[in-house]
Structure 1
Protein backbone atom coordinates (compact mmCIF):
# COMPACT_ATOMS: atom_id res chain seq x y z
CA UNK A 1 0.00 0.00 0.00
CA UNK A 2 1.33 3.43 -0.91
CA UNK A 3 1.61 6.14 1.73
CA UNK A 4 -0.70 9.15 1.44
CA UNK A 5 0.23 12.58 2.77
CA UNK A 6 -2.59 14.77 4.09
CA UNK A 7 -2.42 18.54 4.51
CA UNK A 8 -5.16 18.96 7.10
CA UNK A 9 -6.55 21.43 9.58
CA UNK A 10 -8.61 23.31 6.97
CA UNK A 11 -10.72 22.66 9.00
CA UNK A 12 -9.87 20.13 11.68
CA UNK A 13 -13.52 18.98 11.54
CA UNK A 14 -13.26 17.72 7.98
CA UNK A 15 -9.71 16.40 8.41
CA UNK A 16 -11.12 13.98 10.96
CA UNK A 17 -13.55 12.79 8.28
CA UNK A 18 -10.67 12.17 5.87
CA UNK A 19 -8.91 10.03 8.47
CA UNK A 20 -12.07 8.05 9.16
CA UNK A 21 -12.96 7.57 5.49
CA UNK A 22 -9.48 6.47 4.45
CA UNK A 23 -9.14 3.91 7.20
CA UNK A 24 -12.65 2.57 6.58
CA UNK A 25 -11.93 2.25 2.86
CA UNK A 26 -8.68 0.37 3.53
CA UNK A 27 -10.50 -2.02 5.83
CA UNK A 28 -13.37 -2.55 3.38
CA UNK A 29 -11.08 -3.20 0.43
CA UNK A 30 -8.41 -5.30 2.16
CA UNK A 31 -10.35 -6.76 5.08
CA UNK A 32 -9.40 -7.65 8.61
CA UNK A 33 -7.21 -5.23 10.53
CA UNK A 34 -5.97 -3.26 7.53
CA UNK A 35 -5.80 0.52 7.79
CA UNK A 36 -4.46 3.33 5.62
CA UNK A 37 -0.78 4.30 5.53
CA UNK A 38 -0.87 8.03 6.22
CA UNK A 39 1.33 10.93 7.18
CA UNK A 40 -0.58 14.01 8.27
CA UNK A 41 0.32 17.61 8.91
CA UNK A 42 -2.46 19.63 10.49
CA UNK A 43 -1.98 23.37 10.19
CA UNK A 44 -3.37 26.16 12.35
CA UNK A 45 -6.29 27.30 10.21
CA UNK A 46 -6.71 30.83 11.64
CA UNK A 47 -3.66 32.40 9.92
CA UNK A 48 -4.56 30.72 6.64
CA UNK A 49 -8.19 31.87 6.87
CA UNK A 50 -6.92 35.42 7.35
CA UNK A 51 -4.83 35.07 4.19
CA UNK A 52 -7.92 33.86 2.34
CA UNK A 53 -9.98 36.81 3.52
CA UNK A 54 -7.26 39.25 2.42
CA UNK A 55 -6.77 37.57 -0.95
CA UNK A 56 -3.17 36.64 -0.12
CA UNK A 57 -3.27 33.48 -2.20
CA UNK A 58 0.41 33.48 -3.16
CA UNK A 59 1.42 33.45 0.51
CA UNK A 60 -1.13 30.73 1.20
CA UNK A 61 0.32 28.67 -1.64
CA UNK A 62 3.82 29.02 -0.23
CA UNK A 63 2.55 27.87 3.16
CA UNK A 64 0.93 24.73 1.78
CA UNK A 65 3.88 24.03 -0.53
CA UNK A 66 6.17 23.90 2.50
CA UNK A 67 3.82 21.49 4.25
CA UNK A 68 3.76 19.29 1.13
CA UNK A 69 7.56 19.16 1.12
CA UNK A 70 7.49 18.01 4.75
CA UNK A 71 5.02 15.27 3.90
CA UNK A 72 7.10 14.06 0.96
CA UNK A 73 10.20 14.00 3.15
CA UNK A 74 8.23 11.87 5.62
CA UNK A 75 7.46 9.31 2.94
CA UNK A 76 4.24 10.50 1.30
CA UNK A 77 3.84 9.13 -2.23
CA UNK A 78 0.85 11.36 -3.03
CA UNK A 79 -0.45 14.56 -1.48
CA UNK A 80 -4.02 15.42 -0.52
CA UNK A 81 -5.03 19.01 0.22
CA UNK A 82 -7.89 18.31 2.60
CA UNK A 83 -10.05 21.25 1.54
CA UNK A 84 -11.78 22.33 -1.65
CA UNK A 85 -10.96 26.03 -1.42
CA UNK A 86 -7.23 25.54 -1.03
CA UNK A 87 -7.05 23.75 -4.36
CA UNK A 88 -6.89 27.30 -5.65
CA UNK A 89 -3.16 26.95 -4.91
CA UNK A 90 -2.84 23.31 -6.02
CA UNK A 91 -0.44 24.25 -8.82
CA UNK A 92 1.93 25.91 -6.35
CA UNK A 93 1.80 22.84 -4.12
CA UNK A 94 2.43 20.50 -7.05
CA UNK A 95 5.41 22.59 -8.18
CA UNK A 96 7.03 22.04 -4.78
CA UNK A 97 6.99 18.23 -4.78
CA UNK A 98 7.52 15.26 -7.06
CA UNK A 99 4.66 13.28 -5.52
CA UNK A 100 1.35 13.83 -7.34
CA UNK A 101 -1.20 16.16 -5.78
CA UNK A 102 -4.53 14.32 -6.10
CA UNK A 103 -6.96 17.07 -7.11
CA UNK A 104 -10.34 17.06 -5.38
CA UNK A 105 -12.13 18.50 -8.43
CA UNK A 106 -10.93 15.59 -10.56
CA UNK A 107 -12.29 13.11 -8.03
CA UNK A 108 -15.54 15.08 -7.95
CA UNK A 109 -15.82 15.07 -11.74
CA UNK A 110 -15.32 11.30 -11.80
CA UNK A 111 -18.19 10.80 -9.38
CA UNK A 112 -20.47 13.30 -11.16
CA UNK A 113 -19.92 11.48 -14.43
CA UNK A 114 -20.61 8.16 -12.72
CA UNK A 115 -24.01 9.36 -11.49
CA UNK A 116 -24.82 11.13 -14.77
CA UNK A 117 -24.85 14.70 -13.45
CA UNK A 118 -23.86 17.37 -15.97
CA UNK A 119 -25.39 20.46 -14.33
CA UNK A 120 -24.91 20.16 -10.57
CA UNK A 121 -25.39 22.84 -7.92
CA UNK A 122 -22.08 23.71 -6.28
CA UNK A 123 -22.35 24.38 -2.54
CA UNK A 124 -19.06 25.66 -1.17
CA UNK A 125 -17.21 28.62 0.29
CA UNK A 126 -17.62 31.91 -1.53
CA UNK A 127 -14.07 31.52 -2.86
CA UNK A 128 -14.82 28.15 -4.45
CA UNK A 129 -18.18 29.24 -5.82
CA UNK A 130 -17.05 32.58 -7.25
CA UNK A 131 -13.51 31.97 -8.50
CA UNK A 132 -12.76 30.04 -11.68
CA UNK A 133 -10.25 27.46 -10.46
CA UNK A 134 -12.85 24.84 -9.49
CA UNK A 135 -15.69 25.34 -11.96
CA UNK A 136 -13.25 25.58 -14.86
CA UNK A 137 -11.71 22.25 -13.93
CA UNK A 138 -15.17 20.67 -13.90
CA UNK A 139 -16.04 22.40 -17.19
CA UNK A 140 -13.02 20.75 -18.80
CA UNK A 141 -14.77 17.46 -18.06
CA UNK A 142 -18.07 18.63 -19.57
CA UNK A 143 -19.71 19.58 -16.28
CA UNK A 144 -21.48 22.94 -16.01
CA UNK A 145 -21.59 23.64 -12.27
CA UNK A 146 -24.04 26.32 -11.17
CA UNK A 147 -23.91 28.31 -7.95
CA UNK A 148 -26.56 29.87 -5.69
CA UNK A 149 -27.55 33.53 -5.90
CA UNK A 150 -25.27 36.13 -4.31
CA UNK A 151 -27.17 36.40 -1.02
CA UNK A 152 -27.21 32.62 -0.65
CA UNK A 153 -23.49 32.40 -1.43
CA UNK A 154 -22.73 34.88 1.33
CA UNK A 155 -24.99 33.08 3.80
CA UNK A 156 -23.47 29.70 3.01
CA UNK A 157 -19.94 31.09 3.35
CA UNK A 158 -20.82 32.37 6.84
CA UNK A 159 -22.34 29.03 7.84
CA UNK A 160 -19.16 27.24 6.79
CA UNK A 161 -16.67 29.52 8.55
CA UNK A 162 -18.67 30.65 11.57
CA UNK A 163 -20.30 27.31 12.33
CA UNK A 164 -19.18 24.13 10.54
CA UNK A 165 -15.44 24.80 10.71
CA UNK A 166 -15.89 25.39 14.43
CA UNK A 167 -17.85 22.19 15.03
CA UNK A 168 -21.24 23.89 15.30
CA UNK A 169 -24.17 22.12 13.65
CA UNK A 170 -27.32 24.25 13.81
CA UNK A 171 -30.77 23.14 12.58
CA UNK A 172 -31.69 26.63 11.25
CA UNK A 173 -28.58 26.59 9.07
CA UNK A 174 -29.44 23.14 7.79
CA UNK A 175 -32.92 24.36 6.88
CA UNK A 176 -31.44 27.40 5.14
CA UNK A 177 -29.12 25.28 2.98
CA UNK A 178 -31.93 22.88 2.07
CA UNK A 179 -33.95 25.91 0.98
CA UNK A 180 -31.04 27.08 -1.18
CA UNK A 181 -31.04 23.73 -2.91
CA UNK A 182 -34.80 23.90 -3.36
CA UNK A 183 -34.54 27.30 -5.06
CA UNK A 184 -32.06 26.08 -7.66
CA UNK A 185 -33.54 25.47 -11.11
CA UNK A 186 -32.37 23.23 -13.91
CA UNK A 187 -29.92 21.22 -11.84
CA UNK A 188 -29.44 17.47 -11.99
CA UNK A 189 -27.23 16.97 -8.94
CA UNK A 190 -25.61 18.60 -5.93
CA UNK A 191 -21.94 18.96 -5.06
CA UNK A 192 -21.06 19.18 -1.38
CA UNK A 193 -18.16 21.36 -2.50
CA UNK A 194 -16.88 22.21 0.94
CA UNK A 195 -15.44 19.37 2.98
CA UNK A 196 -17.69 20.33 5.92
CA UNK A 197 -21.06 20.35 4.10
CA UNK A 198 -21.57 16.66 4.79
CA UNK A 199 -21.52 17.43 8.50
CA UNK A 200 -24.69 19.49 8.04
CA UNK A 201 -26.68 17.57 5.42
CA UNK A 202 -26.85 13.91 4.49
CA UNK A 203 -27.12 12.93 0.82
CA UNK A 204 -30.06 10.75 1.87
CA UNK A 205 -32.05 13.91 2.58
CA UNK A 206 -32.01 14.93 -1.09
CA UNK A 207 -33.75 13.39 -4.07
CA UNK A 208 -31.02 14.50 -6.51
CA UNK A 209 -27.70 12.67 -6.89
CA UNK A 210 -25.12 14.05 -4.45
CA UNK A 211 -21.33 14.02 -4.61
CA UNK A 212 -19.72 14.59 -1.23
CA UNK A 213 -16.27 15.83 -2.20
CA UNK A 214 -14.63 14.65 1.02
CA UNK A 215 -15.66 11.06 0.34
CA UNK A 216 -14.92 11.29 -3.39
CA UNK A 217 -11.42 12.60 -2.64
CA UNK A 218 -10.79 9.86 -0.09
CA UNK A 219 -11.97 7.17 -2.52
CA UNK A 220 -9.68 8.48 -5.27
CA UNK A 221 -6.79 8.55 -2.81
CA UNK A 222 -7.40 4.96 -1.76
CA UNK A 223 -7.53 3.95 -5.43
CA UNK A 224 -4.05 5.46 -5.76
CA UNK A 225 -2.79 3.87 -2.57
CA UNK A 226 -3.88 0.41 -3.64
CA UNK A 227 -3.17 0.86 -7.36
Structure 2
Protein backbone atom coordinates (compact mmCIF):
# COMPACT_ATOMS: atom_id res chain seq x y z
CA UNK A 1 0.00 0.00 0.00
CA UNK A 2 1.35 3.43 -0.97
CA UNK A 3 1.42 5.79 1.99
CA UNK A 4 0.89 9.52 1.88
CA UNK A 5 3.55 11.60 3.62
CA UNK A 6 2.33 13.17 6.86
CA UNK A 7 3.54 16.70 7.61
CA UNK A 8 4.13 17.44 11.30
CA UNK A 9 4.56 21.01 12.54
CA UNK A 10 5.92 20.38 16.02
CA UNK A 11 7.93 21.70 18.93
CA UNK A 12 5.03 23.31 20.81
CA UNK A 13 6.10 21.66 23.04
CA UNK A 14 8.55 18.98 21.94
CA UNK A 15 7.29 16.85 24.84
CA UNK A 16 3.96 16.32 23.11
CA UNK A 17 5.44 16.23 19.59
CA UNK A 18 7.29 13.12 20.74
CA UNK A 19 3.89 11.51 21.41
CA UNK A 20 2.60 12.37 17.92
CA UNK A 21 5.66 10.85 16.27
CA UNK A 22 5.41 7.69 18.38
CA UNK A 23 1.63 7.26 18.02
CA UNK A 24 1.64 7.78 14.25
CA UNK A 25 4.46 5.31 13.66
CA UNK A 26 2.81 2.76 15.95
CA UNK A 27 -0.50 3.29 14.16
CA UNK A 28 1.02 2.70 10.72
CA UNK A 29 2.85 -0.39 11.93
CA UNK A 30 -0.34 -1.78 13.47
CA UNK A 31 -2.13 -1.38 10.13
CA UNK A 32 0.64 -2.57 7.81
CA UNK A 33 2.73 -4.87 10.01
CA UNK A 34 6.29 -6.11 9.38
CA UNK A 35 8.79 -3.23 9.60
CA UNK A 36 6.45 -0.55 8.26
CA UNK A 37 6.64 2.92 9.74
CA UNK A 38 5.13 6.28 8.80
CA UNK A 39 6.39 8.56 6.04
CA UNK A 40 6.78 11.86 7.91
CA UNK A 41 8.12 15.30 7.03
CA UNK A 42 8.56 17.21 10.28
CA UNK A 43 9.73 20.69 11.21
CA UNK A 44 10.06 21.34 14.94
CA UNK A 45 10.17 25.01 15.93
CA UNK A 46 11.80 26.63 18.96
CA UNK A 47 8.93 27.11 21.42
CA UNK A 48 10.55 29.87 23.52
CA UNK A 49 9.95 32.79 21.08
CA UNK A 50 6.37 31.59 20.57
CA UNK A 51 5.72 31.30 24.32
CA UNK A 52 7.11 34.84 24.82
CA UNK A 53 4.78 36.13 22.11
CA UNK A 54 1.82 34.34 23.71
CA UNK A 55 2.62 35.92 27.08
CA UNK A 56 2.66 39.36 25.45
CA UNK A 57 -1.01 39.00 24.53
CA UNK A 58 -0.45 40.16 20.92
CA UNK A 59 0.91 37.02 19.33
CA UNK A 60 -1.34 36.12 16.44
CA UNK A 61 0.43 37.85 13.52
CA UNK A 62 4.01 37.06 14.57
CA UNK A 63 3.38 33.42 15.43
CA UNK A 64 1.51 33.01 12.15
CA UNK A 65 4.66 34.17 10.33
CA UNK A 66 6.88 31.71 12.24
CA UNK A 67 4.56 28.77 11.68
CA UNK A 68 3.82 29.63 8.05
CA UNK A 69 7.55 29.57 7.33
CA UNK A 70 7.82 26.14 8.97
CA UNK A 71 4.74 24.90 7.09
CA UNK A 72 6.30 25.95 3.78
CA UNK A 73 9.37 23.87 4.65
CA UNK A 74 7.15 20.87 5.35
CA UNK A 75 5.35 21.35 2.04
CA UNK A 76 8.73 21.61 0.26
CA UNK A 77 9.62 18.22 1.78
CA UNK A 78 6.67 16.77 -0.20
CA UNK A 79 4.20 16.25 2.64
CA UNK A 80 0.70 15.48 1.36
CA UNK A 81 -1.11 17.08 4.30
CA UNK A 82 -0.24 18.86 7.54
CA UNK A 83 -0.87 18.44 11.26
CA UNK A 84 -0.24 21.32 13.68
CA UNK A 85 0.95 19.41 16.75
CA UNK A 86 -0.69 21.71 19.29
CA UNK A 87 -4.28 22.75 19.98
CA UNK A 88 -3.62 26.40 20.85
CA UNK A 89 -1.80 27.29 17.64
CA UNK A 90 -4.83 26.27 15.59
CA UNK A 91 -5.81 29.87 16.29
CA UNK A 92 -3.53 30.88 13.38
CA UNK A 93 -4.49 27.96 11.12
CA UNK A 94 -6.31 30.26 8.64
CA UNK A 95 -3.15 32.36 8.16
CA UNK A 96 -1.00 29.24 7.68
CA UNK A 97 -3.50 27.88 5.14
CA UNK A 98 -3.05 31.01 3.04
CA UNK A 99 0.68 30.29 2.69
CA UNK A 100 0.64 26.63 1.62
CA UNK A 101 -1.13 24.48 -0.94
CA UNK A 102 -1.52 21.26 1.05
CA UNK A 103 -4.53 20.65 3.34
CA UNK A 104 -4.31 21.08 7.11
CA UNK A 105 -6.16 18.58 9.25
CA UNK A 106 -7.89 20.48 12.12
CA UNK A 107 -7.44 18.84 15.52
CA UNK A 108 -10.89 19.97 16.75
CA UNK A 109 -12.57 18.34 13.73
CA UNK A 110 -10.84 15.05 14.53
CA UNK A 111 -11.91 15.33 18.19
CA UNK A 112 -15.52 16.17 17.29
CA UNK A 113 -15.68 13.19 14.92
CA UNK A 114 -14.57 10.82 17.70
CA UNK A 115 -17.02 12.32 20.22
CA UNK A 116 -20.00 12.21 17.87
CA UNK A 117 -19.14 8.62 16.94
CA UNK A 118 -19.67 7.78 20.63
CA UNK A 119 -23.02 9.59 20.60
CA UNK A 120 -22.06 12.34 23.05
CA UNK A 121 -23.42 15.88 22.91
CA UNK A 122 -22.11 17.78 25.97
CA UNK A 123 -18.39 17.87 26.64
CA UNK A 124 -15.97 19.65 28.93
CA UNK A 125 -12.87 21.32 27.49
CA UNK A 126 -9.47 21.57 29.17
CA UNK A 127 -6.54 23.35 27.56
CA UNK A 128 -4.51 26.52 27.69
CA UNK A 129 -6.36 29.71 28.66
CA UNK A 130 -6.34 30.64 24.95
CA UNK A 131 -8.06 27.39 23.97
CA UNK A 132 -10.60 27.47 26.81
CA UNK A 133 -11.47 31.18 26.74
CA UNK A 134 -11.22 32.25 23.10
CA UNK A 135 -13.74 31.29 20.44
CA UNK A 136 -11.50 29.81 17.70
CA UNK A 137 -11.53 26.32 19.23
CA UNK A 138 -14.92 26.19 20.95
CA UNK A 139 -16.70 27.48 17.84
CA UNK A 140 -15.07 24.75 15.73
CA UNK A 141 -16.42 22.12 18.13
CA UNK A 142 -19.83 23.82 18.30
CA UNK A 143 -20.05 23.82 14.50
CA UNK A 144 -20.32 20.02 14.79
CA UNK A 145 -23.34 20.37 17.10
CA UNK A 146 -21.50 19.87 20.40
CA UNK A 147 -22.24 21.75 23.61
CA UNK A 148 -18.91 22.83 25.11
CA UNK A 149 -18.33 23.66 28.80
CA UNK A 150 -15.11 25.07 30.26
CA UNK A 151 -14.04 25.10 33.93
CA UNK A 152 -14.68 28.09 36.18
CA UNK A 153 -12.09 30.89 36.15
CA UNK A 154 -9.98 29.70 39.11
CA UNK A 155 -9.79 26.20 37.64
CA UNK A 156 -8.89 27.54 34.19
CA UNK A 157 -5.95 29.36 35.76
CA UNK A 158 -4.74 26.14 37.41
CA UNK A 159 -5.05 24.15 34.18
CA UNK A 160 -3.16 26.80 32.19
CA UNK A 161 -0.37 27.25 34.75
CA UNK A 162 0.30 23.51 35.01
CA UNK A 163 0.56 23.21 31.23
CA UNK A 164 3.17 25.96 30.83
CA UNK A 165 5.09 25.71 34.12
CA UNK A 166 5.19 21.92 34.32
CA UNK A 167 3.99 19.77 31.43
CA UNK A 168 5.72 21.71 28.64
CA UNK A 169 8.94 21.26 30.63
CA UNK A 170 8.44 17.52 31.09
CA UNK A 171 7.43 17.88 34.76
CA UNK A 172 4.51 15.84 36.11
CA UNK A 173 3.46 16.39 39.73
CA UNK A 174 1.07 14.23 41.73
CA UNK A 175 -0.43 17.40 43.28
CA UNK A 176 -1.23 18.78 39.81
CA UNK A 177 -2.73 15.46 38.75
CA UNK A 178 -5.06 15.60 41.77
CA UNK A 179 -6.12 19.15 40.85
CA UNK A 180 -6.86 18.09 37.27
CA UNK A 181 -8.88 15.08 38.42
CA UNK A 182 -10.90 17.33 40.75
CA UNK A 183 -11.62 19.75 37.88
CA UNK A 184 -12.57 16.89 35.52
CA UNK A 185 -14.91 15.38 38.12
CA UNK A 186 -16.57 18.77 38.66
CA UNK A 187 -17.24 19.10 34.92
CA UNK A 188 -18.72 15.60 34.93
CA UNK A 189 -21.01 16.59 37.81
CA UNK A 190 -22.13 19.55 35.68
CA UNK A 191 -23.41 17.11 33.08
CA UNK A 192 -20.44 16.73 30.75
CA UNK A 193 -20.55 13.28 29.15
CA UNK A 194 -16.92 13.45 28.07
CA UNK A 195 -13.85 15.64 28.61
CA UNK A 196 -11.66 16.91 25.77
CA UNK A 197 -7.98 17.06 26.69
CA UNK A 198 -7.59 20.09 24.46
CA UNK A 199 -3.89 20.51 25.06
CA UNK A 200 -1.71 17.70 23.85
CA UNK A 201 0.44 17.74 27.01
CA UNK A 202 -2.49 16.92 29.34
CA UNK A 203 -2.41 13.26 28.34
CA UNK A 204 1.06 13.10 29.90
CA UNK A 205 -0.54 13.85 33.31
CA UNK A 206 -4.04 12.34 33.32
CA UNK A 207 -5.10 9.03 31.79
CA UNK A 208 -8.47 7.32 31.39
CA UNK A 209 -7.91 5.02 34.37
CA UNK A 210 -7.74 8.08 36.65
CA UNK A 211 -11.38 9.12 36.11
CA UNK A 212 -14.79 7.59 35.36
CA UNK A 213 -15.89 10.09 32.69
CA UNK A 214 -14.71 9.42 29.11
CA UNK A 215 -11.55 11.34 28.17
CA UNK A 216 -10.79 12.41 24.61
CA UNK A 217 -7.02 12.82 24.27
CA UNK A 218 -6.66 15.09 21.24
CA UNK A 219 -3.05 14.05 20.62
CA UNK A 220 -4.01 10.39 20.28
CA UNK A 221 -7.14 11.16 18.23
CA UNK A 222 -5.22 13.48 15.89
CA UNK A 223 -2.51 10.86 15.38
CA UNK A 224 -5.10 8.19 14.60
CA UNK A 225 -6.76 10.47 12.05
CA UNK A 226 -3.38 11.14 10.42
CA UNK A 227 -2.80 7.38 10.06
CA UNK A 228 -6.25 7.00 8.49
CA UNK A 229 -5.55 9.79 6.00
CA UNK A 230 -2.06 8.51 5.18
CA UNK A 231 -3.45 5.11 4.27
CA UNK A 232 -6.70 6.36 2.73
Q: TM-score, normalised by structure 2?
A: 0.96
Q: What pairs up with 1:139-154 in 2 under 5 angstroms?
A: 139-154=142-157
Q: Does 1:186 align with 2:187?
A: no
Structure 1 segments, 4+ long, off by >6 Å, are none
Count residues with an aligned counterpart. Answer: 227
Q: Which residue of 1 aligns with 2:49?
A: 47
Residue in 2 aligned with 1:17?
A: 19
Per the TM alignment, residue 56 of structure 1 is displaced from its structure 2 partner at its CA by 1.6
CA distance in 2, matches of 1:98, 1:20: 26
After superposition, the C-alpha distances for 1:106-157 in whole angstroms (9 at most, x for unaligned) are 0000111112221111010000000000100010000111100001101110
1:134 aligns with 2:137: yes
**Residue 69 (structure 1) aligns with:** 72
**Unaligned residue ranges in structure 2 (runs of 5+):** none
In the alignment, structure 1 residue 115 sits paired with structure 2 residue 118:
yes
Residue 100 of structure 1 corresponds to 103
How far 1:205 sits from its partner (Å)? 1.9
Matches of 1:180 and 1:207, distance apart in 2: 13
2:208 to 189, 203, 210: 203
1:204 shift after superposition: 2.2
Distance 1:100 1:2 in 2: 12
The answer to whether the Cα contact below 8 Å between 2:185 and 2:211 also exists between their aligned partners in 1 is no
Q: In 1, distance between residues paired with 2:61 and 2:96?
A: 11
The answer to which of 45-54 and 164-173 deviates more is: 45-54
Does the 8 Å CA contact 1:138/1:145 hold for their aligned counterparts?
Answer: yes
SS in 2 for 1:111: helix
- Backbone CA RMSD of aligned residues: 0.8
How many Å separate the matches in 2 of 1:183 and 1:80? 32
Q: TM-score, normalised by structure 1?
A: 0.98
